[in-house]
Amino acid sequence: MDAIDKEVKRWLELAATIGLDPQKLWPSYFGRSPCSVFELDAYLHEALALPAIERGPDAVKELKAGQRRFRPVKPERVGPGRPPAGQQLAGQQPARQKPDKEDALAALGAAGKCLLSPERAEAERLKSLHETDLLYTGPEEVYDRVVAAAWKFFGVGAASLSLIAEDAQFFKSAVGPLREETPRIIALCTETVERNAMLVINDTLADDRFASNPLVTGAPYIRFYAGYPLHGPRGWNIGTLCVIDQQPRSFSPSDQQVLRTLAAVVQKDIDART
């Protein structure tokens, strides 16, 4: 019973950190018997649909001092003397485009990835990322709240919402000793995006795929990683919600469910903006 109560307490703290007030939003379970982990898990999932007005005050202001971000500048032109995509110079006749045999397949979104060339699939993924405008909109409270909740709940060295662009990984929100920008080729989140599933690495030094990675052998000395993919329009994976630590550690099914729940909060907001 004590173990269950401690787990429930951790979940309640998590709910409060992402701005949910169990005392107000879930009154039927308070003032009587303690709630179970199963009940609280179900509550958190239902709470994902709550309107913003029902969310509690920001509970993570004290954590923001340690956050670092890099925000790329949104390009206005695609090349010297060329207008932004979708526009044309004054007096210029629109150029006729030859139909691309992959256009119909691209319309399937990420579901048709295996039918596209790797180059076209990546172009569609980057298009999806840019349509969210996440790279250019700066810090946003909903993402800061979730990242801080993950960092605090799991007690890890760092947590982030990362975006995988063409050549680099950028952080929409981050807590902990993370670089402002990481080459895509070495970012562990790149693997999560490509595999389209949660990635858990209990000990990077025991995994041949990552043991020699510069982020493992050097700062921030990643020994543990868990990431969950996030997608943009048409289902293309554009980034991750992840937690890392400088010590190897286990990550139970219950922990994995918490990470999925937190990622669902982020995903809901991304879906609403696109």
Lowest mean pLDDT among 41-55, 66-80, 122-136, 220-234: 41-55
pLDDT at position 129 is: 96
> What are the structural domains of the chain?
1-57 (no CATH), 62-70+109-274 (3.30.450.40)
- Write out pLDDT tens, residues 78-94: 444 344 444 444 445 55
Residue among 162, 186, 192 at smallest CA distance from 174:
162
* pLDDT tens, residue by residue, 17-41: 666 655 544 444 344 444 455 445 5
Question: What is the predicted pLDDT for the residue at 55?
Answer: 38
What does the pLDDT read at residue 247?
Answer: 97
pLDDT higher at 180 or 222: 222
Q: Does residue 210 or residue 105 have the better pLDDT?
A: 210
CA gap 122, 110 in Å, rounded = 10
Q: What is the pLDDT of residue 7?
A: 63
> What's the full length of the chain, in residues?
274
